């Protein structure tokens, strides 16, 4: 396809390079985007853009458009994956955070193991990409039951929304003592939450190089 042979064969190997270059960019911008616009908005917004990139790859008539689609998928994939993990971590207690973090990644591992089996039965590359990419639209079901991170809401001063979400979580988990329905957290709780969020907000990519 697209005559990627002989002198043009190098373009085949570049496909993975385009994707990983986009992934590198995505990993750098994931934190600032999710901190600025919220976890849920980042997940759904970036997934919408990822779908555009995926379908560009699927129906691309030329190599260049396919490459652009791969870059778009590379940029948005870590935004979706890492931000989803952040939501899981921020609504889980310290006691269960590791367990839920590992459990969440089990689905990625299972999906990866399914790929060779799917490829065995679907030999045509176009149909194989369609099998991989069309189910991406199912991800938008998150819009109906995925809540915003209460920690992020607190950092934005939206305490009432955070209380409603935490009370709903307490109700689903049948916890007898939920949070109060008042307009604000108790003073000590609020101070502690805001202090923790403020400390975390001071960190950026440069913090990785501090000792």
Q: Which residue has the tokens 């853009």?
A: 49
Dihedral (Cα; 172, 173, 177, 181), 10-degree rounding: -30
Count CB neighbours of 76 within 10 A: 26
pLDDT tens digits along 15-63:
888 889 988 998 888 888 888 888 888 888 888 888 888 888 888 888 8
Structure tokens belonging to residue 81: 């994956």
The structure's pTM equals 0.71
Cβ atoms of residues 47 and 76 within 8 Å: yes
* Residue 24 to residues 21, 30, 125, 162, 163, Cα–Cα distance (Å): 5, 10, 26, 32, 36
Rounded Cα distance between 95 and 99, Å, is: 8
3-state secondary structure (DSSP) of residue 173:
coil
Q: Where are the alpha helices (DSSP H) in the chain?
A: 10-37, 39-59, 63-90, 94-121, 125-133, 142-145, 150-155, 159-172, 187-201
Rounded Cα distance between 165 and 152, Å, is: 12
**pLDDT value for 207:** 56
Q: What is the CATH number of domain 1-146?
A: 1.20.1250.20
Mean pLDDT of the chain: 78
Rounded Cα distance between 181 and 172, Å, is: 16
Higher pLDDT, 185 or 172: 172
Count CB neighbours of 142 within 10 A: 15
Q: Region 79-100: what's the mean pLDDT? A: 81
Domain coordinates in residue numbering, the chain: 1-146, 148-211
**pLDDT value for 27:** 87
Gyration radius from the chain CA atoms? 21
pLDDT tens digits along 134-163:
777 887 887 777 888 888 888 888 888 888
**pLDDT value for 195:** 57
């Amino acid at each position: 396809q697209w005559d990627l042979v002989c002198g043009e064969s190098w373009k085949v190997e570049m496909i993975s390079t385009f994707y990983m270059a986009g992934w590198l960019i995505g990993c750098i911008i994931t934190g600032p985007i999710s901190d600025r616009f919220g976890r849920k908005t980042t997940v759904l917004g970036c997934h919408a853009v990822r779908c555009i990139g995926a379908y560009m790859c699927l129906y691309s008539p030329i190599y260049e458009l396919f490459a652009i689609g791969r870059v778009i998928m590379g940029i948005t994939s870590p935004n979706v994956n890492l931000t989803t993990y952040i939501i899981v971590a921020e609504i889980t207690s310290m006691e269960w955070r590791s367990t839920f973090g590992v459990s969440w990644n089990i689905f990625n591992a299972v999906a990866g193991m399914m790929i060779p089996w799917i490829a065995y039965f679907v030999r045509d590359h176009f149909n194989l990409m369609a099998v991989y990419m069309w189910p991406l639209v199912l991800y938008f079901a998150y819009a109906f039951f995925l809540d915003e991170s209460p920690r992020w809401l607190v950092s934005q001063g939206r305490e009432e929304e955070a209380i409603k979400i935490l009370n709903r979580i307490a109700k689903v988990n049948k916890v007898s003592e939920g949070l109060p329905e008042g307009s604000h957290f108790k003073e000590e709780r609020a101070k502690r939450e805001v202090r923790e969020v403020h400390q975390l907000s001071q960190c950026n990519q440069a913090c990785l190089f501090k000792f």
